[in-house]
Amino acid sequence: MTDLTFGWFLPTSGDSTCLGDPASRIPQSLEMFDEVVAAVDNGGYKYLLMPVNATCWEATVVASYYVARTKNVAPLVALRSAYCNPSLSAKMFATLDQMSGGRLCINLIAGISDDDTLADGILDSKQVRYEKMEEEVSIMKRLWTSDTPIGFEGKHYNVNQVIEPKPLQQPHPPFFLGGGSEQALDISAKHSTVHLFWGDRPAEIAVKIKDMRKRAAAYGREGALNFGMRLQIICAESEGEAWEEAQRLIAGATRFNLINNRDGLNAIEGIRRTSEANQRVWQLLDESGDDMKIHPHLWTGISTVRAGAGIAVVGTPKQIADTLDEFVEAGCTSFCLSGYPHAKAARLFTDKVMPLFKGRLADTLPTAA
Ligand SMILES: Cc1cc2nc3c(=O)[nH]c(=O)nc-3n(C[C@H](O)[C@H](O)[C@H](O)COP(=O)(O)O)c2cc1C
């Protein structure tokens, strides 16, 4: 039977108990993170996603802090291309992999909005950021495995270094990648250990996985690429309670009332222009009708209040497990999850849903090949 891995999300830009009500926001604090990390580290999860954007606490720094304070879980550190010199990234991640005893995963992303990266002083278009991503990953992989200067000459980087330390995980820590454009899919096929999808109907994911397997096969990597879903979880003892909780979570919100986005509608338009993955998420919201469902237990309501991971699995533990199993049928083996508030939702998933996957959980992180 398939070995599955579960991961959770660390809300380093803040948490909430009701997304429609700005007063319910839980600000970032070490205390809040500690509670989430404890729930995840003791809860059977294999990795903890640490996002990046202007409002998040810095992901690699947060990861370094928590590898020293956890025993089980691996940080899945988001790395935005074009932000960091690749030789430095290779060194930082190899060091972190050594210091964590081989607990590190890297999430490759190009950035959800051109406006946001521009505001940071990064002048590259998304296309160039993806070109740089491809070179950055190639450079890191070579620096991690070479004992002689690598002589890398690319369009954007020339690197001729040999570095220590090398990562503990061999040949290197797993790369995850989240993105929906042609460039994202090509880089993921070539380099990823896990390609991550935001929520969609299982039948759509099956089609996307078939396509990704073909792309990976063109690089001789068909068996090396795994697939994961980035989903929200809204779980309760009865289905009625779960739907009530879903409605309560966005009570007070109107469509595209994105409380977590400082620039409101302008930011939304920037994300809509830049991110094909996000265009699909909001297309699903538009198609979903009044009940905001796209499938019996898949709900787009959270996409009214945030970008990105706005699709939730809603129901009883059994209904949630069955829906996740539809994604397993489609070819997924990993689930990167979250719920509001994050610590409580992580504990609930551990207690009520994970036992339904007994005997099917992997002992280790997905391994790079
Ligand atoms: C699972 C997943 C996680 C992501 N995490 C982040 C993130 O932490 N920060 C960010 O700026 N963008 C994040 N993104 C968005 C990516 O930056 C992605 O590159 C963006 O959608 C633009 O590229 P695309 O047109 O290829 O989809 C994520 C995307 C996915 C699918």
96-110 pLDDT per residue, tens:
999 999 999 999 999
Residue 306's pLDDT is what? Answer: 85
Residue 200: its pLDDT value, please?
97
Q: How confident is the model at residue 1 (pLDDT cuts 50, 70, 90)?
A: low
The pLDDT of residue 304 is: 86
Residue 181 CB less than 6 A away from ligand 1: yes
**pLDDT greater than 80 at residue 15:** yes
Q: Is 230 in the pocket of ligand 1 (CB under 6 A)?
A: yes
Residue nearest to atom 19 of ligand 1 (CA): 110
50-61 residue pLDDT tens: 999 999 999 999
In DSSP notation, 275-288 reads: -HHHHHHHHHHHHT
CB 43 within 8 A of CB 49: no
Distance 355 CA to ligand 1 centre (A): 30
Tokens of 113: 């909005």
Report the pLDDT averaged over residues 149-155: 98
> In the predicted model, is pLDDT for residue 176 greater than 60?
yes
Q: Is 179 in the pocket of ligand 1 (CB under 6 A)?
A: yes
Q: Supply the residue whose CA is at minimum distance from atom 9 of ligand 1.
A: 52
Position 266 scores a pLDDT of 62
Residue 275 near ligand 1, beta carbon < 6 Å: yes
Kindly give the distance from the C-alpha atom of residue 164 to the centroid of ligand 1, in angstroms, as a whole number. Answer: 30
Q: What is the pTM of this model?
A: 0.96
Per-residue pLDDT, 22 = 81
Our CA angle for 180, 110, 232, nearest 5°, is: 60
Q: Please name every residue paired with 9 in a beta bridge, in sequence order, or none if there are none.
A: 49
By alpha-carbon position, which residue is closest to atom 2 of ligand 1? 178
The answer to whether residue 262 scores a pLDDT higher than 80 is: no
Q: Domains, the chain, ranges and CATH?
A: 5-230+321-357 (3.20.20.30)
Three-state SS letters, 244-309: HHHHHHCCCCCCCCCCCCCCHHHHHHHHHHHCHHHHHHHHHHHHCCCCCEEECCEECHHHHCCCCC
pLDDT score of 261 more than 60: no
pLDDT of 257 strictly over 80: no
| C-alpha 110 to ligand 1 mean position (Å) | 6
Mean pLDDT of 167-185: 97
Q: What is the pLDDT of residue 256?
A: 52
Q: Is the CB of 339 within 6 Å of ligand 1?
A: no
Give me ligand 1 centre to Cα 268, in Å: 14
Query: Is 11 touching ligand 1 by the criterion CB < 6 Å?
Result: no
Rounded distance between C-alpha atoms, residue 104 and residue 60, angstroms: 10
334 close to ligand 1 (CB < 6 Angstrom): no
Rounded to the nearest angstrom, the distance between the alpha carbon of 278 and the centre of ligand 1 is: 8
For ligand 1, what atom is nearest to the CA of residue 51? 8
> Which one of 47, 105, 109, 192 would you pick to mutate in the ligand 1 pocket, going by the greatest count of ligand atoms within 8 A of its CB?
109
Token output for 169: 């995980």
Q: Is the pLDDT of residue 125 over 80?
A: yes
Q: How confident is the model at residue 259 (pLDDT cuts 50, 70, 90)?
A: very low
Question: At 264, is the pLDDT very low, low, confident or very high (cuts 50, 70, 90)?
Answer: low
Is residue 307 very low, low, confident or very high in pLDDT (cuts 50, 70, 90)? confident
| Residue of minimum CA distance from atom 30 in ligand 1 | 178
| Strand blocks (E) in 122-215 | 152-153, 158-159, 175-178, 194-198
Check pLDDT > 50 for residue 90: yes
Mean pLDDT, rounded, for 218-246: 97
How many angstroms separate the CA atoms of 11 and 33, rounded? 8
Asked if residue 26 lies in contact with residue 341, where contact means CB atoms within 8 angstroms, the answer is yes
Residue with more model confidence, 273 or 69: 69
Q: How confident is the model at residue 212 (pLDDT cuts 50, 70, 90)?
A: very high
CB of 274 shorter than 6 A to ligand 1: yes
Write down the pLDDT at residue 272. Answer: 85
If you average pLDDT over every residue of the chain, what do you get? 94
Using a 6 Å cutoff on CB, does residue 231 contact ligand 1?
A: no
When comparing pLDDT for 260 and 230, which is higher?
Answer: 230
Res. 137: pLDDT tops 80: yes
Are the beta carbons of 308 and 1 closer than 8 angstroms? no
What is the C-alpha R_g of the chain? Answer: 19
Q: Give the type of residue at 217.
A: A
Q: What pLDDT, in 10s, does the model give residues 155-165?
A: 999 999 999 99
* Residue 39 CA to ligand 1 centre (angstroms): 25
